[in-house]
Structure 1
C-alpha cells in the first residue's frame, strides 16, 4: 500500500458523502454559529435531547451556523447517526459482537436462511470463565453461531453491544443480538456420536505419511454452509496451519434456533498432496466450498532474490518441512484455491485449481454468471486477480487477469481516494497442462541446490515470458535448470502469478488485501436482471474488499498506489460496482478506520469505536455489510456497516 504527493484535490460523490458523514459523527464543541433561527426541534429525527446523544455530547456539526437550530440538529442527526439512529444519514457502524481476549473474528458466513456463523480464532488460553449459554470457556479455537436471530430480517436500527469492561465480559462473546452458541472447539471428538464422531479431534492435523498428530489447531478461519434442507446442512471450516485442514460438521437447527452436530469429519486431502494454511474462502453458486491456501508462496515481487526452498541451510523457508509430503515437497503444488466437490457425499473430493494462479490466496469469490472469479492476495505488494472460466461451473480451464489501478489525480487521503481499474490479461490455461508443468519440479531436493542459482522459476524466467521471448534463458543468463533454453510457455502466469502480473504491468501494491464478498442475489438482480430481492428494486450491486492495514506498498512514494499514512494499521473497506458481465472498472473507499496514533501503544493506536484492522467482509441481503476484525484490540469486534448512508 503506497503514498502520493498531494496535487489538486478531487472527491468522488461517494467520498464526499463519507466526509460529510464523518463530520456529523465527530463534531467539536464548535462555534455555535450565528445562533440561527433555533429552528423547530430538528425535523430530521427525534428531538435529540439537546445534543446529549451526540458524539461526546457535541452541539452538532460544528454548529452548522444554526441550521435547524444549534441543538435540535446536533442531538438527533449528528451523534445518533453514528450508531444507526434516524439521523442525518451519517455512516452507520454498529458493534454486533466482541470476541474474547486474544481472539480474532473469523469465518463470518450468512446463510440463505439468515443464520450468522463466525469463529473465535486462537483466543487466550488464560480465558477460564464458563458462562451459562455454553458451559465451556473460550480458551480454544471455537466455531459458533448467533442463535435466535434472522439476519435477513433485521431492524434498521440496532443498539451497539458494549465495549467489554469487566474481566468476565472480556473472556466471552458479547453480542448485540441473539446468543453465541458454540458448535465445536479445537480437539472436540464428538464421542457421543459414536462412529459419526471425530476420534482424531476437530481441527487436529496429522502427517500424510506418518499418520502422527502434528498440531491441535486453534485457528478456525473460513466457514461455509451447504444446505441440505430447511434448518440443516453441512458446515465446512478452514483450520489455518501447516499442514492445512478443513472440517465438515453436519448441523441441524431446532424450533428454538439451537444447533446440534450429528456428524463430524476432517476432509481428506491426501489425493492432492495435502494443503497449506487454509485461510478464508467462499461457497460457489453451485454449492461447493472454495478453500484458500495462504502463506506458502514467498513471491519476492519487489526483490531480485530467486526462490531457494531447497537450500539445505534454510529448508524451513515457507514452512515446507511441516507439510510432511512425500520426499521433499514441491512448493509449486501449494498456494491455490481448492474446490471441495461432492460436498455432501460420504467422501468429499478436493480439487486444486491451478488455473486461478499461485499466490497467498485469502479468498476467491464466484460471480452469479458462474464463470467470473475475483481473488485477493493477502500479502505486501499483492495483486487483485480475476479469472474467467471457459464454461460455467467449471474452474478447471480459463483465463487469468491482474488489475491495473489508476489513482485519482491529486488525491492521497485514504477515506476519499479511489482508483480506476483496467485488466491485464496474463494467460489462458487448464489444470491438466499446468499440473504437467508443476510435475517437472517434483523430486527436487537439497542435493540439487547450487549457491547463487535456483532450482525453481527465476525472475529472469518470468521476465523473459513477460517480454514475449521465444525461449527461456540459459542458466548462465539467470534461467532455471528445469526450463533453460526450452521453448517459452505460460507457466509463469500460474506458478509465479504475482511476479508475472507485475511484470506485465498489473498493480502489485496491495497490502493485506483480505476478504472479497458479494451478495449473490443482489448482484444477480443488479447485473443479471433477475428479480431476487423481495421488496427492493436493486439497481446497483457491489463487491466489497477488506484491507487489514493501509501501510508499506500502499503508502510509499512508488508505483500506482500512493496513499497517505493517516489510517495506516487501522485499515478499511473498499468496494467496486459490478458492471456489465460482472466486470470491475472502479474501486472506492467505503469506510476507513480512524487516524492511527503511533505515539500510543497496543489497542489505543486505533479508536475502539472505529474499525481496527478489518479482515473479512460479507454482504447481507439488504445491502449492509458485516466486517470482522483481525487486529490488536483486546476484544476484537464484529461490525455491521450500512453503506446506504453514503
Structure 2
C-alpha cells in the first residue's frame, strides 16, 4: 500500500499539498506579548449564537446530538450553592427542542446573558427546559454502585471518606464526554456512555430511552461503571477521562487526560537536562510518579531550596495532576499502608505491593461490544501517550487526530496501516504516530516587534513521523514497568535497603534523599533521559525506522518528550477540542479548539510567534484526499482579557469541546469560568454557523492529459437561487481550462471559456428549486483542465454575485485549489500518473497503479532528462533532490 502520509507538504502558492484548499492571508500587527488590543479579537468567520448558559461554577462539556436533533450536555462541577437540581454534577437534555439540520441557526432563539444571580445559578436556554437524566453518585445496579464512582476489587467506593491519600477531583463530580450507542433502528433507546474526570477515571453506561413525545429518561437499574469490570481493571483502569468520540465503527471512545505525563516543564527538552547535568528547574511531574505523596513534590522542592540544597524552587509541570495516583493503586488492589494515616490525609508510608504503571495512562480507550452484558474495552497504546483531551477518528477508519491539553503541548496524528475494524486481534493494529511542525516561519513574523494576529493567520502544518509499531508491541514495552512501586523510588535513588526504610531510616529522610537524586539524575525506574536523547540522535541520523530495537518504545511511551527532542512544534496551549462530521470524507473540515492563545504560542521563541489572545482560537482544516490536514485556518477568535464586557459578553471564551453536527454547524463549549472580560461568570454553549465557502478541487493531471476539478459549495443554509463565478488558472503555461459542465439539477447554466484558456466565467440559476437548503458539499460545476507542461498552478475563484433562495446576497468566501501537471512519458507508452493524489507520480508506466515495473522504469531512466528535469515529481523521500533513496522509497511503498 502506498504510504500517503510520508509525503511532503508543498508550499501553498506553488505546490500546496494536493487536495488542500487555502484561504486567508497573514497580516502583521504591532503588539506586545502581553495582553493587548489584538486585531480580530473577538471575531467570527460566520455567525455565532449562544444556545445556553450553564449554572454557576460549571463548564459546558460533553455535548451530544441525537439522530432526531435533540441535545444534551454535561453539567460539570457546578457550585453546590446553586439552585436545585443545578447544585450537583449531572447530564441533562433540553426538553422539546430538536435541531433541524438545515445548517441554519434560525432553528433556535439566542439566550440572553445571565445578568442576575438567580439566572447565574441555573442552566438557561430559550429552546426548552434542561431536564436531568443522570446525576453523579446516584445509586445504580441495585445500590451496589454509585454512578461514576470507581471501586476497589472488593467493591469499596474509592473516595476520601474511605481512603487516605489525594484524589483528583471529588468522585463523580466531573462528567464530560457523552456518546450514545442505540440498540434500535430508530435511535430511540440505547446506552449513554459518560466520562468522569477523576483518578481513578470513570466511564459509566446508562440505558436511556425516548417516549412517543420525544422525552428522554434513564434507567439507573440498567447502568454500570465500566472501570469496575474485569476487562478495564486488567488494562490498569483509566485516569482523568475527558472528552471522546463515537468511532466510525460505532463504539464509544474515551480519552485519558493524563496531565502528569510531562518529563520536562514547558519549553525545556530532555537534551537540556542532559546537557545541564541536572534536572533542577527543568523536570516535569512524571519524574515523581512513584514518589510517596507524589503531588507534594512542589512543596518539597520549595523546602529544599530554602535549605540550600537547590538553587531555587519551581513547580514541575503537571505535578498537581499526580493527585489521585495513590487512589489508582487502591483501585488496582493495593493495601492501604499500615501507618497512622486517616481517610482524607496524605500518605507517607510507601505503597509496596501494587502500584500503577505510568505508561498505562494517557491513551484513547475504545469500548468494543458496547451493548453487550459486559463490554470489551481496549486501549490504543500504538496511538501514543499524552494528556488527551479529545480524539477524532476519520471516515477512512485509519486516521486519528488528537489534542493534548495543557501548556506547551501538541496536536498529534495516528494513521493505521489498514482500516482499524479489519484487525480481528486489536494487538495487531499497526500504524504510525506523527507530531506537527509549523512551517510558516514563526507565523510569518517578519521582524522583532512585528506580530500577526491569530485571527488572521493560517498555520501551515507538516507532520513529522515519530515511529511505527503494533498495538501489541507497545503493550509489551509498557508491561516492562508494571512492577515498579513507591518503595522502588526510595531504594533505587538512595543507598537504603527496603528493610531499613521506616526502621533505621525515616521515610521522610529517604524521600528527601531520593527527591534530590531524581532531580539531579532523573527517575531511574522508568525510561531514562539518556535513552530519549540517544533515540533522538539515532532518529536524526537514520530516520524513525533506523533506531535500535530497544529504543523504538521511546516516542510511543514518551511522545511529548520525543517530539520536542526532534524539533516538533509542541507549543499549543490547552488544545481542548477536535472534531469533524461523522464518517468524514475528503473536503470535510476538522475543527481544532485551542482554549488559550498565549505562553508558547505568543512568545519570542519557537515556530509560532503571534499576538496573544487569552480567549483562545478555533481553527479548522480541510481533509485532503489522503485524510491529511496541512492548513489550520482560524474561524473563531475569542476576546482579549483586556476587552470590555461590551466586546467580550457575546464572544466565545476559552473553547473546550467542539462537536461537528452533520449539517456543518459546530457546537462550541466554554471552559472559561470566572475569567475576566465579561460582565458575568457563566460558561455557555454556542453554535457556530460557518460562512458559505466556494471551493475548487485540487487535482493532478498527466502531461498532455485532461482532468476534472469540481466546484462545490460547502453549505447553503438559506438555499440558493443563482451565482456568477470566475475561475482562473494563475500559470497558463502549466494548464488551461478547456470546458465546463453543470449538474442537471441547475436549470439555467452558461459558461464562457477564454480563448487562451486562462479563465472561465460561470453563470447558473436554480430555477426549479432543486438545490435544497441545508445540504453540504453541493456540486455546482465541473471544470475540465488540460496539462500543458510540467509544473504547478493555482486555481483561483472570484464570486461576482451569489444569492440565496430569497434573493439575498450570500457573502461567500472562496478557497483556491492547486493543479499539478505531471511529467512527460519516461519510457514510451502512457504518461506517468499520480495514483493517490499526493503530488508524486509513482505510476511511471501510466497504467493507473503502482507496480514493480514502475520501480524498474525509474531505475533504468534515472539519468534521463524526463526524470532529472522533473525532480518534484520523483522526490519520493522528500529531501529536495533526486537520489537513489527515491527508488528505495518507491520500492518500500509497494511492499
- TM norm structure 2: 0.55
Aligned mates of 1:16, 1:467 — CA distance in 2: 37
* 2:594 aligns with one of 544, 547, 555: 547
Larger deviation, residues 444-453 vs 263-272: 444-453
SS of residue matched to 2:635: strand
Structure 2 vs 1, CA of residues 159 and 18 (structure 1 numbering), >3 Å: closer, same or farther? farther
Aligned mates of 2:149, 2:176 — CA distance in 1: 14
8 Å CA contact 2:531, 2:551 repeated in 1 = no
Structure 2 vs 1, CA of residues 198 and 287 (structure 1 numbering), >3 Å: closer, same or farther? farther
Correspondence 1:19-34 to 2 at 5 A = none
**1:409 maps onto 2:451 in alignment:** no
**1:351 maps onto 2:378 in alignment:** yes
**1:426 maps onto 2:473 in alignment:** no
Aligned mates of 2:402, 2:549 — CA distance in 1: 30
Aligned mates of 1:437, 1:585 — CA distance in 2: 32
Aligned mates of 2:373, 2:45 — CA distance in 1: 50
8 Å CA contact 1:341, 1:351 repeated in 2 = yes
SS of residue matched to 1:257: coil
Correspondence 1:482-497 to 2 at 5 A = 488-497=550-559
Aligned mates of 1:198, 1:618 — CA distance in 2: 34
* 2:145 aligns with one of 169, 183, 200: 200
**1:385 maps onto 2:412 in alignment:** yes
Aligned mates of 1:293, 1:498 — CA distance in 2: 15
Alignment partner, residue 309 of structure 2: none
Correspondence 1:466-615 to 2 at 5 A = 466-468=536-538, 488-521=550-583, 523-524=584-585, 527=586, 540-565=587-612, 567-568=613-614, 570-597=615-642, 607-615=648-656
Runs of 5+ unmatched residues, structure 2: 1-20, 29-42, 160-169, 274-278, 297-318, 335-353, 446-450, 494-516, 542-546, 675-680, 693-812, 814-895
Alignment partner, residue 111 of structure 1: 66
Following superposition, the deviation at residue 605 of structure 1 comes to 11
Larger deviation, residues 259-268 vs 144-153: 144-153
* 2:113 aligns with one of 148, 151, 163: 163
Question: How many residues are paired up?
Answer: 521
Residue-by-residue CA offset, 1:172-195 (whole Å, 9 max, x unaligned): 2111323322111111225xxxxx
Following superposition, the deviation at residue 211 of structure 1 comes to 2.8
Aligned mates of 1:545, 1:359 — CA distance in 2: 17
8 Å CA contact 1:595, 1:606 repeated in 2 = no
- TM norm structure 1: 0.76
Residue-by-residue CA offset, 1:415-472 (whole Å, 9 max, x unaligned): 011111111111111122112111221222333431133221233211211211799x
8 Å CA contact 2:638, 2:651 repeated in 1 = yes
Structure 2 vs 1, CA of residues 14 and 94 (structure 1 numbering), >3 Å: closer, same or farther? farther
Following superposition, the deviation at residue 572 of structure 1 comes to 2.0
Aligned mates of 2:401, 2:539 — CA distance in 1: 29
Residue-by-residue CA offset, 1:211-235 (whole Å, 9 max, x unaligned): 3332532100001111222111211
Q: Report the structure number with the largest CA radius of gyration.
A: 2
Larger deviation, residues 510-519 vs 445-454: 445-454
Aligned mates of 1:312, 1:167 — CA distance in 2: 44
Alignment partner, residue 435 of structure 1: 475
8 Å CA contact 1:237, 1:247 repeated in 2 = yes
Structure 2 vs 1, CA of residues 128 and 575 (structure 1 numbering), >3 Å: closer, same or farther? same
Following superposition, the deviation at residue 486 of structure 1 comes to 8.6
Alignment partner, residue 449 of structure 1: 492
* 1:153 aligns with one of 91, 96, 101: 101
Following superposition, the deviation at residue 165 of structure 1 comes to 2.2
* 1:102 aligns with one of 57, 60, 69: 57
Structure 2 vs 1, CA of residues 488 and 109 (structure 1 numbering), >3 Å: closer, same or farther? same
* 2:686 aligns with one of 635, 639, 642: 639
Structure 2 vs 1, CA of residues 490 and 92 (structure 1 numbering), >3 Å: closer, same or farther? same
**1:185 maps onto 2:147 in alignment:** no
**1:213 maps onto 2:218 in alignment:** no
SS of residue matched to 1:332: helix
Following superposition, the deviation at residue 159 of structure 1 comes to 2.7
Structure 2 vs 1, CA of residues 492 and 13 (structure 1 numbering), >3 Å: closer, same or farther? closer
8 Å CA contact 2:54, 2:122 repeated in 1 = yes
**1:463 maps onto 2:533 in alignment:** yes
Aligned mates of 2:190, 2:143 — CA distance in 1: 18
Alignment partner, residue 310 of structure 1: 290
8 Å CA contact 2:431, 2:470 repeated in 1 = yes
Aligned mates of 1:106, 1:18 — CA distance in 2: 34
Aligned mates of 2:627, 2:438 — CA distance in 1: 18
Following superposition, the deviation at residue 207 of structure 1 comes to 2.9
Alignment partner, residue 237 of structure 2: 274
**1:621 maps onto 2:662 in alignment:** yes
8 Å CA contact 2:58, 2:673 repeated in 1 = no
SS of residue matched to 1:270: helix
Residue-by-residue CA offset, 1:336-381 (whole Å, 9 max, x unaligned): 1111111010101111111010110111111001011111110111
Following superposition, the deviation at residue 259 of structure 1 comes to 0.6
Alignment partner, residue 255 of structure 2: 292
Alignment partner, residue 176 of structure 1: 126
Residue-by-residue CA offset, 1:576-599 (whole Å, 9 max, x unaligned): 11111111011111110122218x
Structure 2 vs 1, CA of residues 203 and 331 (structure 1 numbering), >3 Å: closer, same or farther? same
* 2:193 aligns with one of 236, 239, 249: 236
**1:368 maps onto 2:323 in alignment:** no
RMSD: 2.7
Following superposition, the deviation at residue 508 of structure 1 comes to 0.5
8 Å CA contact 1:426, 1:504 repeated in 2 = no
Aligned mates of 2:198, 2:148 — CA distance in 1: 10
Structure 2 vs 1, CA of residues 143 and 432 (structure 1 numbering), >3 Å: closer, same or farther? same
Following superposition, the deviation at residue 300 of structure 1 comes to 1.9
Residue-by-residue CA offset, 1:283-303 (whole Å, 9 max, x unaligned): 101111111111241332633
Following superposition, the deviation at residue 199 of structure 1 comes to 3.5
Larger deviation, residues 280-289 vs 167-176: 167-176
Aligned mates of 2:549, 2:473 — CA distance in 1: 15
